Structure 1
Amino acid sequence: MRYISTRGGIKPISFKETVLMGLAEDGGLILPEKTPRVSGETLALWRKLSYPELAFEVLRLFADDIPTEDLKKLVEKAYSSFSHPEICPVIKKGNIWILELFHGPTLAFKDIALQFLGHLFEYLLLERGQKLNILGATSGDTGSAAIYGVKGRKNINIFILFPKGRVSPVQELQMTTVADENVFCLAIEGTFDDCQYIVKKIFSDLDFKKKYFLGAVNSINWARVLAQVVYYIWAYFKVSEAEGKEKVRFSVPTGNFGDIFAGYLAKQILGQGIERLVLATNENDILTRFVNEGDYSLGRVTSTISPSMDIQVASNFERYLYYLYNQEPSRVREAMEQFAQTGSLSFSQEKIARVQKDFLSASINQKETLATIASFYKETGYILDPHTAVGVAAGLKFKDERPMIALATAHPAKFPEAVKKAIGREPERPEALRGLEDKPRRVKVLPAEVEKVKEFVAKNALL
């Protein structure tokens, strides 16, 4: 399997090279030259597998330059830290299925990919005798999951930027109380989009990137998206069998388009199994406007009770554009240059109709989110976190005869204030979150300036 850039400016590279490159050197995002489609006997065999076994089978299609036994060990290590025997259990609550993705060490769906990526990075660096300085931005859960994926690992330092005061208190504590010396948390005086802009600008400085051995852990890293493909296929098998249905829908709370793009890839791999994906946003609705109206234009970032989705520039959107523009890199490059200059893209009715064959979309405001947490708890006894509630509310809007699977992206205890506002009490705090307030914190506050962040990275990078 060879990999290319959405902008066409790099020669085809291997999976290993893709992982370490992160963002393509031409500023584009990396994708496989072709997406395999699986059917018949192979699907029948996959249905019988455990989650780690299925992950291995999916990953080996795309990571064919890693020896089989090594890949198996990496997968086994990645999911040994999960607290549930099924890794990602799927349970029916009321009229909807809940895919629980929060049984990893930081209680968020990002663990599914980042536990694997942390082990993969260490494996590749030891193999090559190289060092890596990971640079990433987070709107909430990516930061802690990335940190827990690589803390204490050999040959790796990690620098995580988060918007000061714009992540939940629990999310901030999970990041800033990690004591390992290879972890650096940077509280940026701005929004998540500012953090993401800084990271992209630094990666686009190729001399700086090479000098300081920079790598990406955000969802721009292909290996992260790939690891997330697995749970869509897993949930499809479980629910289609339980319901006796050939097709399902998924509802995905998303701001960055990474998680739902993994669903889009799973849709291609399965062929007919996933009918459509429901793209659920909060008030930061740039992606909903894209799906429903063909309007991808910047708005003002609104702070909400689902902060991981408080995003206007969706960093993985470019990957979908590549397919929407019939895999023509020149058109993607022109579109991204236009967006950089004007903050806006528009699409023809023909393109909108094509998008709507893949996606449905709804924007759920905070009032609706709180009402969904309250009503779902009253009806089922199940507590949703505010991100999952956005997905459930949107999913129920588009519920038909097909099973609807909503992605539960975080444990509700990560957002106790929002849950208490909805149901009158905080959710029980799991062991992993107890005592965080009592631990010393390690964090550096910086202005939202590219040069200030570069100075800090240069001073603390592994060389």
Structure 2
Amino acid sequence: MHYISTRGGIEPIGFAQAVMMGLATDGGLLVPAEIPALEPARLRTWADLSFQDLALEVSTLFVGDEIPRADLKALIERSYATFSHPEVTPIVTAGETRILELFHGPTAAFKDVALQWLGNLFEYLLEREGGRLNIVGATSGDTGSAAIYGVRGKERIQIFILHPKGRVSPIQERQMTTVLDGNVHNVAVRGTFDDAQNIVKTLFNDLPFKSAYRLGAVNSINWARILAQTVYYFYAWGRITGGDTERRISFSVPTGNFGDVFAGYLARRMGLPIDRLVIATNRNDILTRFIHSGVYAVEDAVHQTLSPAMDIQIASNFERYLYYLHDGDQARVCALLDDLKRTGRLEVSAERHRQAQADFDAVAVSDAETLDQIRATYEASGYILCPHTAVGVRAARDLPEAVCLATAHPAKFGEAVVQAIGCEAPPPPSLLGLLEKEARCAELDASAEAVKEHIEATLKTVSAA
């Protein structure tokens, strides 16, 4: 399997190089040169596999022979041994609503599904090559802690995570800043998530800096993140249908950076019988507006909501979708992105807009509707939704058979849950006592230069130690 850039500026590379490169050197995102097509017979044989065995089968299609199968199996087994539920991503029911619980990893968020594996994958490749890596990532809430827990203590890796100061929940912040391993470095940026994400992209596009400091990516710009998240769509389908390839199911996906729902789109392109994919957004509804209008237009500001991990305007993985929407026309992708950079908007043709509406449904959910959904689900079933999951459930009201992705444990968002039902969700063991632990974090202006200087100074200190 080879990988190319959405912008067409690199020669095809292999899986391992794609993982280590993260963002393509031409500024684009890496995608497989071709998407594997699955026959119904193979889907039927996959339906009864454990999550780990299924992850091995799906991953093998994209890894090829670059990692021996036995080594890949061991990486997967080690990655999901950290999950508290034997099914890794179980399906439960809340009244008549089917919930795919993705929060049984060490940080109680869906990002663990990909980042536990990616951390071990990085370690494996670095040990094999004798290299070192400095990870730089931005988080709107859950990516940062999941990435930190995925690589903490790994001797060949340093990790720098940027989060928007005051714009993540207290629990999310403490999950990051209370990890005191010597290879973990947290930065609170005085700005929004989009500011932090733009800083990371600027650093990766500074090729001399990226090369000199061996930067690696854990955000969903890294293809390995998308690959790992694709697995639970196959898993959910198999558990619900028993392998009946005539049966299609729909998914409702709380969406900010477009990575999670893009993983579902990839699974459908591979042949998984998915009916509807619902993009569920909060007040920051750029993706919903695009599906409805064909225009992707940035607003003046990012709105702070009860579902902060979705408080995003520029969705990184949307570029991957643009690539597939335009049948791999890299020149067209570049032109559209240039429009976005110059004017703050891009518009696709009427034909492409119709295709986007065939690919996705899209619903924006307000904070009031989010609270109402948490309350309604709790009163009907006793099940407590996190605000992000509540957005997905609300968005799927017209698709009662849809599987709604539960992206985080509700205890991570105590304030919103209390507003909705008057009490907090019982926390899992991984969240107990976080607010009383010692924390460590630098605070910087939202400037690429400030972050660059901080990285340089920190690595100099680490090197001298």
Q: State TM-score, norm by structure 1.
A: 0.97
Q: Matched residues, percent identical?
A: 55
Partners of 2:243 and 2:349 lie apart in 1 by: 40
Cα offset, 1:270, TM superposition: 2.3
1:410 maps to 2:392: no
Matches within 5 A, 1:250-265: 250-265=251-266
Residue type at the aligned position of 1:288: T
Which residue in the other structure is 1:381 paired with? 382
Which stretches in structure 1 are left out of the alignment for 5+ residues? none
Q: Does the Cα contact within 8 Å between 1:101 and 1:410 map onto a contact in 2?
A: yes
Partners of 1:239 and 1:279 lie apart in 2 by: 21
Cα offset, 1:93, TM superposition: 2.2
Partners of 1:293 and 1:113 lie apart in 2 by: 32
CA deviations over 1:21-57 (Å, ceiling 9, x no partner): 0000000000000111112321121112100000000
Which residue in the other structure is 2:172 paired with? 171
Residue type at the aligned position of 1:7: R
Among 409, 430, 433, the alignment partner of 2:431 is 433
Partners of 1:374 and 1:127 lie apart in 2 by: 51
Partners of 2:34 and 2:164 lie apart in 1 by: 36
Residue type at the aligned position of 1:18: A
Which residue in the other structure is 2:97 paired with? 96
Q: Does the Cα contact within 8 Å between 1:179 and 1:442 map onto a contact in 2?
A: yes
Structure 2 SS opposite 1:16: helix
Which residue in the other structure is 1:460 paired with? 458
Residue type at the aligned position of 2:173: E
Change (3 A) 1:383 1:440: same
Cα offset, 1:77, TM superposition: 0.5
Residue type at the aligned position of 1:39: E
Partners of 1:407 and 1:42 lie apart in 2 by: 25
Partners of 2:93 and 2:170 lie apart in 1 by: 30
Residue type at the aligned position of 1:440: E
1:63 maps to 2:50: no
Matches within 5 A, 1:154-233: 154-233=155-234
Partners of 2:136 and 2:245 lie apart in 1 by: 45
Structure 2 SS opposite 1:372: helix
**Alignment length, in residue pairs?**
459
Q: Does the Cα contact within 8 Å between 1:302 and 1:310 map onto a contact in 2?
A: yes
Which residue in the other structure is 1:447 paired with? 445
Which stretches in structure 2 are left out of the alignment for 5+ residues? none
CA deviations over 1:223-247 (Å, ceiling 9, x no partner): 0010000001100111223999701
Residue type at the aligned position of 1:287: L
Which residue in the other structure is 2:54 paired with? 54
Matches within 5 A, 1:12-161: 12-64=12-64, 65-161=66-162
Q: Does the Cα contact within 8 Å between 1:233 and 1:270 map onto a contact in 2?
A: no
Partners of 1:455 and 1:338 lie apart in 2 by: 31
Q: State TM-score, norm by structure 2.
A: 0.97
Partners of 2:245 and 2:136 lie apart in 1 by: 45
Cα offset, 1:83, TM superposition: 0.1
1:392 maps to 2:408: no
Cα offset, 1:325, TM superposition: 1.1
Structure 1 SS opposite 2:186: strand
Partners of 2:311 and 2:109 lie apart in 1 by: 17
Partners of 1:287 and 1:183 lie apart in 2 by: 33
Q: What is the root-mean-square deviation in Å for CA atoms of aligned residues?
A: 1.3
Structure 1 SS opposite 2:369: helix
Structure 1 SS opposite 2:396: helix
1:355 maps to 2:356: yes
